[in-house]
Amino acid sequence: MSTDPSPSESEVEPSAEPPEQGAAKEGTPLPKRRVWVVFAVAALLWAIDLITKNLVVANLEGKEPKPILGGLIYLQVIRNPGAAFSMATGMTWVLALVATGVVIAIVWISRRLRSVGWAIGLGLVLAGALGNLTDRFFREPGPLRGHVVDFISAFAPNGQGFAIFNIADSAICVGGALIVLLSLLGKDYDGTTTRGKKKESE
């Protein structure tokens, strides 16, 4: 019979580890955090949205639609009290609050981002939310009631071919589509791959 003393429960090291450390030991190390990508993309697209809106307001407001690219795009200024693509007209203050919530949510989740794709997608959505939210706070008729400047009419003037939109609307749509695509491919925002995990478990 062995006389070696068995370790007491207090001497046994706990096996529980923080999720990220455990994930790193099971497979490859987790990618670096991508917070800076979110804010770099958001800052760039936000600036482009603000600059283009100010330019078209200064040069095209009150004028006839201006065709560019052989009539593929018409530039004209429309003051939109609704959501993207002129939806939900008359709910300006509600939309402003929703956009504020979106901005807060993206800033909160960005601390855990390790996927470049997710960071770009959320950065685009953040830029779009901030771009239109800026209009709602600082343009007429007043804070939380400001009308968003739309100026891109595709295929025909006056939104006859497609809804009139702006750079912020485009950023939201592209960013949202990218996030959906990554989700369908099983790519998580923390840099892991859900689809691979499911196959291993099976």
Query: What is the set of active-site residues?
Result: 150, 169
The closest alpha carbon to 125, from 151, 144, 106, belongs to: 106
Vertex 164, ends 161 and 169: CA angle to 5°? 130
